Amino acid sequence: MKVLILSVSAGGGHGHAAGAIRDYIKLNDSSSDVKIVDTLKYINPIIDKVVIGSYLKTIKITPSLYGKLYSHSEEDYGLATTISSKFIEIMAYKLLPLLDEYNPDVLICTHPFSTEMISVMRSKYKVVIPAISVITDYYSHSSWLHPHIDAYVVSNCDMVEDIVNKGISRNAIHDLGIPVKPCFIEKYDKSDTLKELGLAEDKTTILVMGGSLGMGKITDLYEKLVTVKKDIQIIVVTGNNKKLYQDLTKLKEFSPKETRIIGFTNKVNKYMQACDLLLTKPGGLTITEALICEIPLGLFSPIPGQEEKNAQFLLKHDLAVNLTDINNCNEIIEDLLCSHEKLELMKKNCRKFSKPHSGNDIYKLIKLLIENNNINNNVKIPEKIFEKDSPSKTFLKSVEKYFMKTASKLFCW
């Protein structure tokens, strides 16, 4: 089979999900041809830089503004949404040569932008390739939901009714979970990992993470964490945040708790399996990995918008405790660590919502869609549509120029 996966590099989760899907397809069918395309970067590297730069700048400097835009876009269909949709339509047009050249059997998207582009390509430009959208959060924002998508893969059963209420056919919704790479499922011995880090095997171990960017109030959290009375040891993964790594390295010199500071790493699964409690921002991928490892969660610094929605899901189902108020987090953590019953309930709930076989299940769905879709292997774009409805080069350039001036206001996720 030939599979084209369209993603966007806004945060790590979308790209990781795309990579996981590719890996599981190759595991199940080594002869398959899978291509992952960073959609905005492929269309226009400058626009990609503006969009992703605006996104990162907004969530770092003015996260409350990002949250307002996220909520506003869920319900409002005013001028900004109209311009945004028109831009997506133009970008979809610019993807048509890729489809014509690669000629995939199925299209998969792991970001709202690419989902809408696929919807436009199927409706306006008569593309007949089956399409799947893999939603990489624990809430279904309307930006993910569009007509002409054959299947939506969701992370949990709560999302099904919500998506149905938003107008998507129940038959198109598949509760298969967010895929993680096959290597993440590999089991590691907790004692061996702690020995490698020079930590005690019999102490409660707490892992602190802030995603690949090392975001959130991790320094403040650490300063509170070391005041916990219970005898604990701490692992902090700072990701690509070099300043955070340096700051914490200095702090740990005077810490009463044994601490290991780790920068960017590909061993997150080992560290998760070695810890008793994970303190983290509630990103979709991190949540999925934690559920697979059956680790109770403490949530801090959620990005307003999708991560707040993710946190609501976790708190609703007793999968996590809320550490948003950093000033009181040490007391909350102490109470949790002293409650064996609470920790066991949270672990049990993790097992309930964990979907370690998501990648294989998504492969089966892909195969089924291809088998059931009686299409011509060549993507046909009628000349009439191409000539009549295609935007002119002048118009494309003018819209791109306008977009680069207003990207931070129109696009933030």
pLDDT digits (tens, 9 = 90+) for 245-278: 999 999 999 999 999 999 999 999 999 999 999 9
In the predicted structure, residue 411 carries a pLDDT above the cut 50: no
Domain covering 2-178+357-410 assigned CATH 3.40.50 in the classification = yes
Give me the amino acid identity at 391.
P
Q: In this structure, which topology does domain 187-353 adopt according to CATH?
A: Rossmann fold (3.40.50)
Are the C-beta atoms of 320 and 299 separated by less than 8 Å?
yes
DSSP character string of 358-411:
HHHHHHHHHHHHHHH----SSPP--HHHHHHHSPPHHHHHHHHHHHHHHHHHH-
Q: What's the whole-number average pLDDT of the chain?
A: 86
User: pLDDT tens digit string along 170-190?
Assistant: 999 999 999 999 999 999 999
User: pLDDT tens digit string along 202-249?
Assistant: 999 999 998 777 788 999 999 999 999 999 999 999 988 999 999 999
The 3-state DSSP class for residue 153 equals strand
Give me the amino acid identity at 305.
G
Residue 5 φ then ψ, to 5°? -105, 120
What pLDDT, on the 0 to 100 scale, is given for residue 13?
Answer: 84
Are the C-beta atoms of 17 and 182 separated by less than 8 Å?
no
Are the C-beta atoms of 311 and 302 separated by less than 8 Å?
yes
* Percent of the chain with pLDDT strictly greater than 90: 68
The 3-state DSSP class for residue 49 equals helix
Domain 2-178+357-410 matches domain 187-353 at the CATH topology level = yes
Q: Report the alpha-carbon distance of residue 43 to residue 95 in Å, rounded.
A: 7
- Write down how long the chain is: 413
Confidence of residue 376 (pLDDT cuts 50, 70, 90): very low
- The residue-averaged pLDDT of 359-374 equals 92
Report long-range pairs for 112-115 (Cβ below 8 Å, ≥24 apart): 112/141, 112/143, 112/144, 112/413, 113/8, 113/39, 113/40, 113/88, 113/411, 114/6, 114/7, 114/8, 114/39, 115/143, 115/144, 115/146, 115/149
Look-up: residue for tokens 């949270």? 346
In the predicted structure, residue 132 carries a pLDDT above the cut 60: yes
Are the C-beta atoms of 263 and 235 separated by less than 8 Å?
no
- Neighbour count for residue 397 (Cβ, 10 Å): 11
* Percent of the chain with pLDDT strictly greater than 70: 81
In the predicted structure, residue 341 carries a pLDDT above the cut 60: yes
Nearest alpha-carbon partner for 132 in 95, 164, 91, 174: 174
- Which residues does 211 contact at the CB level (< 8 Å), separation at least 6? 11, 12, 239, 280, 281, 283, 286
**What are the residues facing 214 on neighbouring strands?**
none
Provide the phi-psi class of 198: left if phi over 0, else alpha when psi is between -120 and 50, else beta.
left
- Neighbour count for residue 226 (Cβ, 10 Å): 17
Residue 259 φ then ψ, to 5°? -135, 145
Residue 372 φ then ψ, to 5°? -85, -10
Q: The pTM is what?
A: 0.85
Confidence of residue 151 (pLDDT cuts 50, 70, 90): very high
The 3-state DSSP class for residue 131 equals strand
User: pLDDT tens digit string along 73-97?
Assistant: 666 544 345 556 777 888 888 899 9
User: pLDDT tens digit string along 7-64?
Assistant: 988 767 889 999 999 999 999 999 999 999 999 889 888 876 776 656 556 656 666 6
Provide the phi-psi class of 214: left if phi over 0, else alpha when psi is between -120 and 50, else beta.
left
Look-up: residue for tokens 């993910």? 144
Q: Is the dihedral of CA 250, 253, 254, 257 positive or negative?
A: positive
Give me the amino acid identity at 47.
I
In the predicted structure, residue 71 carries a pLDDT above the cut 70: no
Q: Report the alpha-carbon distance of residue 319 to residue 43 in Å, rounded.
A: 40
Vertex 359, ends 112 and 146: CA angle to 5°? 25
In the predicted structure, residue 139 carries a pLDDT above the cut 50: yes
Query: Could you tell me the two tokens for 289?
Result: 């990995």
Domain spans of the chain?
A: 2-178+357-410, 187-353
